[in-house]
Structures are given as C-alpha cells and as structure tokens.
Amino acid sequence: MLRPRISPCLLIHKGGLVKTVRFTHPKYVGDPINAVRIFNDKEVDEIIVLDIDATVAGRKPDYELIRRLAAECRMPLCYGGGVTSKNEFERIVSLGVEKVAVGSACVSDPDLISRAAAAVGAQSVVAVVDVRLHEKTGQYTVFTRNGLVDSGIAARDFAVRMRSLGAGELLVNSIDRDGTRQGYDMDLIADVRASVDCPITVLGGAGSLKDIGEMIARFGIIGVSAGSLFVFKGVYNAVLINYPKRAERESLISASL
Amino acid sequence: MAAQVARISQGWQALIGIVDYGLGNVQAIANIYARLGIPAMPVRDPSEIGTAHGLILPGVGSFDWAIRLLDASGMRSALEEAVQVRRRPVLGICVGFQMMARESQEGVLRGLGWLGGNVRRFEEVRSERRVQLPHMGWNDAMGTQPSALLDGLERPMRFYFLHSYYFVPDRAEEVLLSTDYFGPFCSAAVCGNVMGVQFHPEKSHHWGVGLLRNFAERVAC
Amino acid sequence: MQARPYQVCRSCVMDTTDLQIQFDAVGVCDHCRVFQQKIQPSWVTDERGRQKLNAMVERIRAHGKGRDFDCIIGMSGGIDSSYLLHLAKTELNLRPLVFHVDAGWNSQEAVNNIERLIDQLGLDLYTDVIDWEEMKDLQLAFFKSGVPHIDTPQDHAFFATMYKFAEQHNVRSILTGANYSTECIRNPIEWMYYQSDLVQLQDIHRHFGTRPLVKFPTTSILRHKVYLPYMKRIEVVTPLNFLPYNKSEAMRLLADVYGWQPYPQKHFESRFTRFYEGYWLPQRFGYDVRRVQFSSLIMTGQMSRDDAIERLKTPPLDDLTIAQEKQFVASKLGITVGDLEGYFKLPKRSFRDFRSQENVYRIGAWLLKSLGLVRGGKR
C-alpha cells in the first residue's frame, strides 16, 4: 500500500538554512548539509530543499550546493529555487536530484512545465503554488518571487493549468500560515485537492504531529511537508532537528487512514 | 565475499561498475558502496565496462532521453557485450530497468531488449478507481520467488517509487517483486544475469542498502 | 633536543607523548601523584559531599524563585551532561533550562539523545546556532596554523555562548558536567591548549582567517574567571564532583530510563571532535587522548590498567571510518580531501608560535592553588 509522505522542507538563504514566518524574517538555523545528514539517519520519507534567494536575486540555481546535497542525501530530494529553463531541469536531475520544483517561472512562462516534463518526465516536475488569501478579493491567490508579487491568478485555476501542462506534482504552500504553527489551511488544500488528480504536497502551518494526522485522515494519500515543526523544539524555539520515528509514523498513518 | 573483495581491491578493479552516462544518482549509489566497503566506481568509458565484474544501470527521467544519452555516451556496445555475451550481472534501476525492455509507451526509441517485456503507462483507471499519477512515495514490495537479492531485507519490504510507467514482462516467471498500486504491478524483474528494479534502492534507506549489498554479493560469487 | 626514551607510567597509561611528563623513582608519573596528593584528599563524594551539594542546590533554588528556570545546564548530548540533566531534575529538584550550542557538527546520536532527555524530563531547551560561515573560516584558520588544538573554535563557542546568555538573562548558576571521576587527569597543554585563551584564538584568526569574526561568540579567561564570578556573581557549578559518579553505571541508567545511545568514545557526540580525537591528533601528532581518559578511569577505579593497555593497542578509528570521516569533514568545510591532507602535512606548530595569555593562566593557576581554591588541573 502506498503511504502518505511526510517530508521536512528546508529553506536556504545566503547558503545557510533558515526558517521564516509568512515568508519573512529569516532566522538562521544551521548548515544544510548537516541537517540533511541528520535527516538521513532519521530515515525520513523525502526532503524538499528550496533556495529562497535565487529567483528574487535573479540568480541561476547553485549547482555546487545541489551537487553536494544530492551526494549527501540518502532519501529522495526535491530541489527548487531559481529554475527558469528546461536545461536547468535536465542539469539538476542529472546531478542526482529526483524532483525539481519551479514557482515564479511557470507564471511568466507556463509552457516551461510541458517542456520540462517532455525532457525529464512528469514525475520529476513539481509546480510550486505559493498562496496568500488576497485581502481585497478574498480569494486564494498565487504569489511569486518569494511571496512578493501578486500574480492575479486564483490558486485553483493555477493548479489545474499546471497539471494540464504536465506537472507531476503540486507543492501547495500557504504563505499566510508559514512558520505560524497554527495548522494547515484546510480550505485551500481541499480546494486544490478536488481540482487535480496528481500527487500534491502541502506546506505551511504545521504545528504538531496532530496536524499531519489530520491531513492524512482527510485526504488519504498525500504529501505532508513541514519546516518549523521538524527544526524547532519547545517554547524557546530551540533549534533541534527532529522527525517522528518509524513507529510514531506508522501509528499516525494507521490511526488516520 | 570479504576475501573476494580484498583480492579485487588489490587489483584496483571495481567489483561494481556504475554506468555513468549522464542520468541517475551515480554518486548516491557510489556512496552507499563506499560506506559498505565494497569497491564500486562510476564508469564513463567503454573500456572500463569490461573490467567491472558487475554493472549497475541507473536512470531517471524519460525513456527516450535516457536511451539517447546512453547512445551518446558510447558505452552501449560495450554494455551489450558485457551483459549479453559475457553474462555479467547487471542491475537496472528505475528508467535504467525500463531501458532493458524492448520498448516503452513513453518513447519512440527501442530499448536494450535484455528483458522480455514492454513498458506501459499506468492506466488512468485501475480496479475501477482513478489512479493518481505518477506513483510517488514509499510502497511495499512482495517477493514472488525466492532470491538472494532479497536476503536479510526487513519484511515487509518497502522502497521509494517515482514513476508513471511500469514494466510488463512476457513471462510471469521473470517477476521478482510485486507491488500494489491500484492493483499489482511488477516492481522488480530477473532473467538470468539481468535484474531490474522499478524503485530507487539508493534512496530507500536500509532496504535499498541491503538490496545493493546483496547484488554485490551476487556479483562476487 | 635529545629525544626522551619511551616510558609509560606504571600506575596509569600516560606516557612520554606528553612531552612534559615527569616520572618519580618508582616510575609513577606526576599526573598520578598530583591526583593522589592534591585532588583525592579533598574530593568527597560521601555524606560530606552530599551536604555541600545540597547547600549549593538550596542557593540555586533561592536565586531562581519566581523565574522560569533556576539555572542553565550546558548540554552536548554527551554522557556527563546527559547524566547531569537527569540528576538535576530527578534528584536535585532543580528547574534547569537546557542549553545547547549548535556549532554545525552534531552527530545524529547527539541530537537523538538531547531530544529523548528533553522530552522525557519535560525540560525546556534553548539552542544557539553558531554562524556557519564564520565557524568554518575559523576552523580552517586553525588547520592552516598547524597547531594541535584545532577543536578550539567549538569549545570556545560553547562556553562563550553560555556565559553570554547567563549574563544577559541574569542567570546566577551554570551547571556543567565536568567531573574528576572521568577527567581527573587532564590533557597536557601541548596537546590541547586552553580553549578559552582569546588572544591565541584572535592571533590565529588574524594570521589565517579570511573573514571578520562578527557573530562568533567570544569570551576570555579574565572575563569568566574574574569578571563574571566576582562582578556579576555568576558561578559555575560541577555537581558530578559531589556524588559518586561511575561512568558505566551512568550509561546503563540513561540507556534503561531514556533509551540513551552511547557513543563509541568520549566526546564523539560531535562529528568534528570524533575526527579530531580519533584521527588528527593521534596520527598527526601522536597524541592519543584515550590515554588521558583511560588514566582518569584507572585512577578512579573504573578501569584496569591492563584493559587500558589492551584497548590502546588498536587505533580509535579504523581506516575505512577514517576515510569516510575525512570525506565528511572536507566536504562540510568546503574543501577537498586533498586540501585536508595538505594541512595534515604542514609543519607542526604549537601554541607558543602564536600570541597567547599563557602567563595569565600560569599565574592565575598558581594563585588559585596557593589559596587552596583549586586543585590539580592542566599543566
């Protein structure tokens, strides 16, 4: 039986690992390679690494970092940040990365998704859907460039479009909930889930394992990702990499499914 | 096995050659063997194919892309010779496994044809249910025949899958592992010296490490 | 200078790789003598020790009234600090804030152990993450300097951060797991020079660092031996010295109660320290810190000399592990294994080749010993 995936999401800023709140106030939490190493030993399902500077700074993906991450990673790796072309998809995949995530670029150049899927296969193409609840329209809207630019596109429409162009997976990320630990945005996720048939991974707001359990109970086979939850511990937000042990995951999954 | 390994190490030959034609996580596989103390090396040149006692053919991405890159690497005929003529053990991974079939619905190019069978796309509807594609994540695999490749692996066996196409063997005897995804499909196949796994052992924690170790033991015999 | 003939102590296993070692007429070394004559007589772990400890604990509790925590405990994940945590919470009824400094080299076992203890004891954790770019640069500077004490950046950061936190938050008591039981014999300073010597650290950085030290936490010997205790009334307390502390019993207890995982050797909770003490120090300099650690255990009756001799026959890390650790360390520091091997072949230097406050340490130690405030310690 295929299992729901529980994946840590690591953000890279200026070469270091950071955690943000609503996509701002990056707080340094350590070295990405060391974090990957510790997650390796904890045998996590898969890991997502996003370079949050690249697009905004107009930079290309950091291939040296990607190469080191891919070499170190003993679990499936999804990498995103600064990807704008099919060639970059190919290059990153050939470095040993299972999936490549793209966000801002597929708003300005949606066809990139189909070109990339044709080249590397749909299974390696992840469309990132960074979403804010728009103040004026009250609609879930896609924002790009690390949450700074309002694309004007509704999240659901964007999801459907990306899927039809050939994305193998959608990463649905709630900017409003990022780093808040108040729980996932159920309405947003339910809306997207109902509109596409490909695997989706949700991110933004996980505060406890209970939140993860709720997602699995509601949606069954789904990717559940979290940043703060697996990096911080306790009231002082002590940086301590953590992840539920296999037994905990098994009971979480069987209790929820 | 340790004695065999020691003999080979002294002669700097690799026990395992990991075919590096530009696709697949060659480094991750090499790292696993390094940690196990088993000599394995990326192989980029046709001349190196001959010296390896066993071969691993990794692969990700799309079928045609992989075949094209393999052709462009210049190693294809050396590989054919090693596998089909000298019967060296070979393990195909993911698209590397799919390449060993005759052809794939995903592409137009011909496969290596080392395994009797074709590669098909998962149907949109299987067992009357809508299938979420690609097949992505950790899934169980059940052995359908005894094999040293599965020795010592914790049961139930579990591996990481990431694919939308799967191998359909001509003969049921060639199925080594079966996985359920809206119905059973062949997740590993074996035919003589040719083995293939649909999942990624280099990304499947201790199950994958165990399988790769077992492959090396098989090669060393 | 003529090389000394090889000699090993008849009582412990310290030998002439400690260049300053002295042997008496019966072949017993000065480490042992100092322990027997200076430390042991006043080291009390029976009722008297318990009473002293209780008095300290009362004081700590009094200072902590009305606050979220009454002391901080520096926690590396190692056996000493882990056992201390258990003791502090379950026996001494203290309310510690667990303090961890992440210098980027945590091993998986360390992270697990810290997590287990925090969860099961219901304690709060505070971590300070050292800026990795500065840490890396400083570590590389130490490699390039050719000195033996290349683990100084980690050690220094650990203490500096704790003191800084204590001062900022007005915490009067810092508890550490330092103890005579497993550390009564100290590392010779030729092997590991004082990690708190800020002048030395800054001089090495000045010579070989490539970026300014801005975020990296620093302390100095005068600051934390004089200013903090006497001006700010912040004291460092070592509770493990007032009770019987047996290392293997402590490990068993922690394993049974918390599922605590042991490390292959003392200090191996940090991947860098493992590389340093298991490979770099013994193979580049011939300094095997296990001699020091085993000698302490021999002196306190926790290990037999024969057992120590036997264990010292095999290197702490086998060749395969060394190759992997070199790969890991090089990769993490952003250099190649070739670069690392280059540093390995550099001419060997000592702390004397750079500026230091060694005088201050010597005078201070003499002063404290004369006043009877401190016994033994590093030469």
The rounded distance, in Å, linking the Cα atoms of C275 and A147 is: 42
Tokens of B4: 């065999």
State the CATH number of the domain containing residue B190: 3.40.50.880
- Residues of C with Cβ-Cβ distance to A238 under 8 angstroms: 100, 124-127
Q: Is A238 on the interface with C (CB under 8 A)?
A: yes
Q: Indicate yes or no: CB of B205 within 8 angstroms of CB of A221.
A: no
Enclosing domain of residue B89: 2-220
pLDDT, tens only, C314-364: 999 999 899 989 998 998 898 999 999 999 999 999 999 999 999 988 888
- Residues of C with Cβ-Cβ distance to B37 under 8 angstroms: 320
Interacting residues of C346 by C-beta distance below 8 A, sequence separation 6+: C144, C146
Phi, psi of B207 (to 5 degrees): -65, -45
- Number of residues that make up chain C: 379
Predicted local confidence at residue B12, as pLDDT: 40
The rounded distance, in Å, linking the Cα atoms of C123 and A109 is: 51
Phi, psi of A22 (to 5 degrees): 50, 40
- Residues of A with Cβ-Cβ distance to B59 under 8 angstroms: none
In the three-class reduction of DSSP (H, G, I as helix; E, B as strand; rest coil), residue A229 is classed as helix
How much of chain B is helix, strand and coil, in % rounded to 5? 35, 30, 35
Predicted local confidence at residue A37, as pLDDT: 87
Query: Domain residue spans in chain A?
Result: 5-256
Of A202, A24, A205, nearest in space to A129 by CA: A202
For B108-146, give one letter per residue: b (16+ CB within 10 A) or e: ebebbebbebbbeebeeeeeeeebbbbbbbbbbbebbee
In the three-class reduction of DSSP (H, G, I as helix; E, B as strand; rest coil), residue B160 is classed as strand
Residues of B recognised as catalytic: 94, 200, 202
Instruction: Please state whether beta strands B125-126 and B129-130 pair in parallel, antiparallel, or not at all (unpaired).
Output: antiparallel
**A121 pLDDT exceeds 80?**
yes
**In this complex, which of B25, B106, B161 lies closest to A96 when CB atoms are compared?**
B25
Q: Is B148 on the interface with C (CB under 8 A)?
A: no
Give the C-side interface with A, CB within 8 Å: 97, 100, 102, 104-106, 108, 111, 114-115, 118, 124-127, 129, 131-133, 331-332
- Residues of B with Cβ-Cβ distance to A221 under 8 angstroms: 132, 137
B84 CB burial (10 A radius; 0-12, 13-18, 19+): middle
In the three-class reduction of DSSP (H, G, I as helix; E, B as strand; rest coil), residue C324 is classed as helix
Q: Is A88 on the interface with B (CB under 8 A)?
A: no
- Residues of A with Cβ-Cβ distance to B26 under 8 angstroms: 96
Tokens of B212: 């790769």
Q: What is the percent of chain C where pLDDT is above 70?
A: 98
**In this complex, which of A70, A119, A198 lies closest to B65 when CB atoms are compared?**
A119
Predicted local confidence at residue C1, as pLDDT: 52
Phi, psi of B137 (to 5 degrees): 130, -170
E-strand ranges in chain B read 16-19, 40-43, 54-57, 90-93, 103-104, 117-121, 125-126, 129-130, 135-143, 157-163, 165-169, 175-180, 184-191, 194-197
**A94 pLDDT exceeds 80?**
yes
In the three-class reduction of DSSP (H, G, I as helix; E, B as strand; rest coil), residue B179 is classed as strand
In the three-class reduction of DSSP (H, G, I as helix; E, B as strand; rest coil), residue A104 is classed as coil
pLDDT, tens only, C22-68: 999 999 999 999 998 888 888 888 888 899 999 999 999 998 898 88
Q: Indicate yes or no: CB of A238 within 8 angstroms of CB of C133.
A: no
C379 CB burial (10 A radius; 0-12, 13-18, 19+): middle
Instruction: Please state whether beta strands A200-203 and A169-174 pair in parallel, antiparallel, or not at all (unpaired).
Output: parallel
Q: Is A2 on the interface with B (CB under 8 A)?
A: yes
The rounded distance, in Å, linking the Cα atoms of C343 and C340 is: 5
**In this complex, which of B60, B130, B200 lies closest to A93 when CB atoms are compared?**
B60
Phi, psi of A5 (to 5 degrees): -100, 135
Q: Which of C108, C317, C321, C324 to mutate to test the interface with B (most CBs of B within 10 A)?
A: C324
Q: Indicate yes or no: CB of C331 within 8 angstroms of CB of A33.
A: yes
Instruction: Please state whether beta strands A125-133 and A140-144 pair in parallel, antiparallel, or not at all (unpaired).
Output: antiparallel
Residues of A recognised as catalytic: 130
Domain count, chain B: 1
Beta bridge partners of A48: A9, A78
**In this complex, which of B25, B106, B134 lies closest to A199 when CB atoms are compared?**
B134
pLDDT, tens only, B48-62: 998 899 999 999 888
Neighbours of B184 (CB within 10 A): 14
- Number of residues that make up chain A: 257
pLDDT, tens only, A122-175: 999 999 999 999 988 899 999 998 888 999 999 999 999 999 999 999 999 999
Q: Is A233 on the interface with C (CB under 8 A)?
A: yes
The rounded distance, in Å, linking the Cα atoms of A18 and A51 is: 10
Q: Indicate yes or no: CB of B134 within 8 angstroms of CB of A75.
A: no
In the three-class reduction of DSSP (H, G, I as helix; E, B as strand; rest coil), residue C46 is classed as coil
Tokens of C78: 């190692």
For A108-119, give one letter per residue: b (16+ CB within 10 A) or e: eebebbbbbbeb
- Residue A36, min C-alpha distance to chain C (Å): 11
Q: Is B34 on the interface with C (CB under 8 A)?
A: yes
- Residue C319, min C-alpha distance to chain B (Å): 10
Q: Is C108 on the interface with B (CB under 8 A)?
A: no
B148 CB burial (10 A radius; 0-12, 13-18, 19+): exposed
- Residue C270, min C-alpha distance to chain A (Å): 11
Instruction: Return residues 12-41 of B near A (CB < 8 Å).
Output: 22-28, 31-32
The residue ranges of chain C whose pLDDT is under 70 are 1-2, 373-379
The rounded distance, in Å, linking the Cα atoms of B81 and B50 is: 9
For B29-63, give one letter per residue: b (16+ CB within 10 A) or e: bbbbbbebebbbbbbbebebbeebbbbbbbbbbbb
Q: Are C280 and C322 in contact (CB under 8 A)?
A: no
- Residues of C with Cβ-Cβ distance to A71 under 8 angstroms: 331
pTM of the model: 0.82
Q: Are B164 and B133 in contact (CB under 8 A)?
A: yes
Predicted local confidence at residue C375, as pLDDT: 63
Neighbours of C53 (CB within 10 A): 21
- Residue B29, min C-alpha distance to chain A (Å): 9
Q: Indicate yes or no: CB of B37 within 8 angstroms of CB of C320.
A: yes
Fold adopted by A5-256? TIM Barrel (3.20.20)
Query: Domain residue spans in chain C?
Result: 30-370
Answer with the residue of higher pLDDT: A83 or B3. Answer: A83
Q: Indicate yes or no: CB of C118 within 8 angstroms of CB of A42.
A: no
Q: What was the ipTM of the complex prediction?
A: 0.92
Q: Classify C30-370 by CATH class.
A: alpha beta
Q: Is A28 on the interface with C (CB under 8 A)?
A: yes
The residue ranges of chain B whose pLDDT is under 50 are 7-8, 10-12
Q: Indicate yes or no: CB of C125 within 8 angstroms of CB of A233.
A: yes
E-strand ranges in C47-132 read 71-74, 96-102, 124-129
